[in-house]
Chain A
Amino acid sequence: MSEKNRDSQWSLWEVFVQSEQGAPHVHVGSVHAPDSEIALQNARDVYSRRNEAISLWVIPAYSITATTPSDRGPFFDPASDKVYRHPQFYHVPKGLK
């Protein structure tokens, strides 16, 4: 076991479930596990015991790079105050749904 896992809690793995052929793997939650095989087994037991899955991915949570709450302004706000970014000024031709 690597140094990283010698905590009282095992490391965290994010779980992605594919529910049918061709569908995307969707994030459903996380599990604790000492390694990838046990992570897969735990994910199977926690998230797919009632036929929810045909495929599972587990990814070490530490390998995900995420935005922080303080990124929220600079990252996402500019999109909402430039109305011309949104295609809402077009007239939709009659008969088009």
Chain B
Amino acid sequence: MNLDKKVKSALFEFLLRMGDDRLILGHRLSEWCGHAPIIEEDIALGNIALDLIGQASAFLSLAAEVDSKGKTDDDLAYFRDETQFKNLQLLEQPNVNFAGTIVRQYFFDVYANLILENLTNSSFKDLAGIAEKCLKENKYHIRHSKQWLLRLGDGTELSNEKSQNAVDKLWRFTNELFEKDDVDKILIEEKIIQETDLLKNLWDDRVLLTLGKAQLNKPIETHDFSHGSRKGFHSEHLGHLLAEMQILARSYPNAKW
């Protein structure tokens, strides 16, 4: 596919956003390894983490290819610094507890579902192909996080309280989910992504419906201070996460195992 320079750099940027979302959330989930409430859930969270890291690898490989500077997905994952990461701030937030992890996951799974559906119609076939594959995994992820959210919210007093706390804490990071900037506009013009204007409303509808069924509420006061994730602005948590995620690759460049 022959793309002019402007489109190419927008596409590279967009692929980083998609890849980084999955890499960072996948890493967060991997922190549950050996710590989940029961062994079955330990395996489930590990599976989802692996799915997401596989998806990250697909998006970042394609990013490296579009960028054509001879880099690999690993170079992009392990040798960029905090401000070069374009993931949503929602996804770098600490696990806190199982309820916090599930709320964060459900917010992301619904978001990912809407974006991936959108991308299956991309004029850029490689991207449409990756989206198609991710969507299959995403449908299982949604089933997992939604069913857990229903049970935690509508479970015991304690599980409801922990879930509501998580919703209150994380809601502020959801305002920027579908924020549109020049990157999106250029790609929409090229039909590489389809119009995204309606997606935020769909996200709200779906999430609020589930929260209602789970006896959970959208916080009354919502602080809207999360902006600019896609430009490389992050909360204090990403730096620590990257330090742990990148140290091996940076200490032993080109290590094989």
Contacts and interface: CB of A to CB of B under 8 A. Distances in A.
A41 B151 contact: no
A1 B143 CA distance: 20
Contacts of A10: 38
Where chain B touches its partner, the secondary structure class is helix
Interface residues of B, number: 14
A45 interface: yes
Interface in B15-61: 38, 40-41, 43-44, 47
A38 B147 contact: yes
Interface stretch (A26-34, A62-70, A73-81, A88-96): A26-34
24 contacts: A1-B155, A1-B156, A10-B38, A31-B40, A32-B38, A32-B40, A34-B151, A35-B151, A37-B147, A38-B148, A38-B151, A41-B44, A41-B147, A42-B41, A42-B43, A42-B44, A44-B140, A45-B40, A45-B44, A45-B47, A46-B40, A46-B43, A49-B43, A49-B47
Given A34-B151, A35-B151, 15 more contacts: A1-B156, A31-B40, A32-B38, A32-B40, A33-B40, A38-B147, A41-B144, A41-B147, A42-B40, A42-B44, A45-B40, A45-B44, A45-B47, A49-B43, A49-B47
What are the 8 A-B residue pairs with the smallest beta carbon separation, nearest first? A42-B40, A45-B44, A45-B43, A31-B40, A45-B47, A46-B43, A37-B147, A49-B47
